[in-house]
A = this chain, B = another copy of it.
Amino acid sequence: MRFSGLSAFPITPMDADGRVDLPALRRLVARLCAAGVDSIGLLGSTGSYPYLTRDERRRALHAALDEAAARTPILVGVGALRTDEAVRLAQDARAAGAAAGLIAAMSYTPLTDDEVFEHCATVARESGLPLCLYDNPSTTHFRFGPALVGRLSRVPGIVAVKSPGQAPEAVAGHLAELRAAVPPGFSLGTSGDWLATEALIAGAEAWYSVVAGLFPEIAVAIVRAVGAGDAAEARRLDARLEPLWALFREFSSLRVIYACANLLDLTRAAPPRPILPLGEAARARVAEVMRALDLR
């Protein structure tokens, strides 16, 4: 697969015991395929991968691959606290037919650069699965610096990085720093939905998107506008979504997108405990923004 364009990150609907609701997951995947996203980022942070057992992650992946069939490539989170477990997850993903894996620097004991290098390189080597580095410091509290991304980009099979959102005034510099550290063809992607449009305009090749996991059309439109060189249109579409971005910043994109999925009746699933669903007042505000922006 190419790591470019729009990668949509759906939630993983599950019951209170952490068992994945496969029909609900299939509905979400079908929505994404129909909207023409470039790839699906299954079991990302939005997909709550660390809260699921290996068996449930395998069940979810098989169902999503079956639903997407040949329409849309699937990359899948293979992160785990232990290196051996991440290797097993990546081997599962490769055996199932995932296009690529997302490898995060999950940690409890804070990790050094050398430790994260060995972790990611071991998973790449022992699985043979193409890997995208998943730099998500808001959840892992580890930051992939340009030097580490550069070292890892030389490891066979490590082909892309998903960076956290950067302030608009910093994003071009961030991309230039990474570009200077990696070989040609290594894909630089972005996340942090409310910062993504400026990152795409500045040259990020892929947007790993939470909003696209539930409302793919609006994210597709932004990516296509940037692709067509129409930055003004992309910015207009992005600015229109500001009320949603404000909710993401206030409550986290995960909690908000669960509320949206519940309000759309796509699933009644709540995030895994200890994460709590939004309270009534917050849900009412989410519903109001969905109405105002015609999100459905």
Binding site for B on A (CB under 8 A): 16-18, 45, 48, 50-51, 81-84, 106-112, 114-116, 118-119, 122, 138-141, 252, 254, 271-276
Q: Which of A16, A45, A141, A275 has the most CB of B within 10 A?
A: A275
Q: How many Å lie between the Cα of A109 and that of B138 in the bound state?
A: 8
* Bound form: Cα–Cα A77–B114 in Å: 28
A–B Cβ pairs within 8 angstroms, 15 of them:
A51-B82, A82-B273, A83-B273, A107-B274, A108-B140, A109-B139, A109-B271, A110-B138, A111-B275, A112-B276, A114-B276, A116-B274, A118-B273, A118-B274, A119-B274
Which listed residue (B114, B141, B275) contacts A115, Cβ 8 A?
Answer: B275
Q: How far is B274's CA from A239's CA once the two chains are assembled, in angstroms?
A: 41
A165 to B119, CA, bound (A): 30
* Identical copies of this chain, number: 2
List B contacts of A108 (CB < 8 A).
Answer: 45, 50-51, 106, 139-140
Knowing A118-B276, A274-B115 touch, does A50 contact B110 (C-beta < 8 A)? no
Nearest chain B residue, comparing its CB with the CB of A271: B109
A139 / chain B contacts, CB cutoff of 8 Å:
108-110
Residues B252 and A81 in contact, CB atoms below 8 Å apart: no
A276, chain B: closest CB distance, angstroms? 5
Of A122, A139, A254, chain B has the most CB atoms within 10 Å of the CB of A139
Contacts of A45 in B (CB 8 A): 108-109
**Residue among A107, A271, A274 with max Cβ neighbours from chain B (10 Å):** A274
> Which residue of chain B has its CB nearest to the CB of A119?
B274
Which residue of chain B lies nearest to A137 when distances are taken between CB atoms in the complex?
B141
Closest-CB distance, A255 to chain B (whole angstroms): 8
How near does chain B come to A17, taking the closest CB pair, in angstroms?
7
Q: What CA separation (Å) do A138 and B109 show in the bound complex?
A: 8
**Among B16, B111, B138, B271, which residue has its beta carbon within 8 angstroms of that of A274?**
B111
Within the complex, which residue of B109, B272, B276 is in contact with A82, where a contact is CB–CB below 8 Å? B272
